[in-house]
């Protein structure tokens, strides 16, 4: 999506972002191209903004073969508004975006064929929320089939109420997907909002019902908690960040750091520490996708 960051009717900075794209970007920056291939799947328009965005993704090392072009639609747009603590709120324009109609694109069967060849699929609650209801059900069925073919699914619940028809619809979709999840990367705040859980204990008790091989609950500046299927839980604290500028992509950056470690077969505790580290760097800069030189030093630390 296109990103505008600034004051209404004032100076605004143009960029791009989107939760899964943010994770793909930081994962590509952290990974060795010879060892990990990150393919991003979406639909964009045939306009200058869409083409420029795609060029930026390629420059970060993302494979864009399956970024489909929709000649009749445009990329989505969002505006970030920040408070004095760097906490953000979003305004979105995506109901008519090309990404919403990805599954209806005539080239989508090629995407589905490719998905059968990958090791991991990463998606979020937003990936589901933006789709038309029938397309959403179709994707859930496809993901279940792929999981049955040993494709491992990584899921960030990333609940955004404004994108869903109702809380009940979101709950039903998540419950349909969770039995097929290999790694759940959820956020404490989102889980409480979606399920009305009172605390971490309730969140974990509910999610452990799905026998998730790996459950990680992110809690922002308080770090993360890991709940393995057949072992004792552990808390992984985050180092304090004194200069928080923008928390827009904090959870997405954590996911990238975590997945980068997981793909290198690092211990889960180390993956979480790596996630905290990447998020801690990103939130010291403005926007979802920070400049490449801001994350360059992480490459040697994460490999």
Is the CB of residue 12 less than 8 Å from the CB of residue 4? Answer: yes
Name the active-site residue from 70, 190, 225, 252: 252
Beta bridge partners of 122: 154
3-state secondary structure 16-72: ECCHHHHHHHHHHHHCCCCCCCCECCEEECCCHHHHHHHHHHHHCCCECCCEEECCC
Map tokens 């952290």 to a residue.
30
Beta bridge partners of 212: none
**Distance from chain centroid for Cα 235:** 22
Structure tokens at 139: 């994707």
Tell me if residue 119 is catalytic. Answer: no
Residue 265 makes CB contacts below 8 A (sequence gap 6+) with none
- Catalytic residues, which ones? 252
């Amino acid at each position: 999506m296109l990103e505008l960051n600034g004051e209404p009717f004032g100076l605004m900075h143009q960029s791009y972002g989107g939760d899964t794209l943010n994770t793909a970007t930081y994962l590509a920056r952290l990974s060795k191209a010879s060892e990990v291939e990150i393919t991003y799947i979406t639909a964009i328009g045939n306009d200058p903004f869409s083409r420029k965005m795609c060029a930026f993704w390629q420059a970060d090392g993302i494979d864009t073969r399956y970024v489909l072009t929709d000649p009749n639609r445009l990329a989505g747009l969002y505006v970030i508004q920040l408070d004095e603590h760097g906490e953000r709120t979003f305004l979105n324009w995506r109901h008519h975006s090309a990404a919403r109609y990805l599954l209806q694109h005539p080239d989508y069967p090629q995407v589905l064929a490719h998905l059968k060849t990958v090791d991991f699929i990463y998606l979020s609650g937003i990936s589901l929320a933006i789709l038309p209801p029938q397309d959403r059900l179709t994707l859930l069925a496809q993901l279940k089939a792929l999981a049955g073919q040993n494709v491992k699914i990584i899921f960030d619940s990333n609940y955004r109420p404004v994108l869903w028809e109702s809380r009940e619809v979101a709950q039903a979709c998540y419950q349909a997907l969770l039995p097929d999840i290999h790694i759940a990367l959820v956020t404490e705040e989102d889980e409480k909002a979606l399920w009305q859980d009172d605390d971490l204990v309730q969140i974990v008790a509910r999610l452990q019902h799905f026998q998730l091989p790996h459950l990680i609950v992110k809690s922002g500046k308080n770090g993360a908690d890991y709940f393995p299927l057949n072992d004792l839980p552990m808390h992984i604290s985050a180092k304090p960040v004194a200069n928080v500028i923008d928390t827009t992509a904090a959870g997405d950056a954590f996911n990238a750091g975590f997945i980068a470690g997981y793909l290198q077969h690092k211990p889960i505790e180390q993956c979480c520490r790596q996630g905290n580290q990447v998020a801690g760097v990103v939130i010291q800069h403005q926007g979802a996708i920070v400049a490449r030189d801001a994350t360059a030093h992480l490459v040697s630390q994460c490999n």
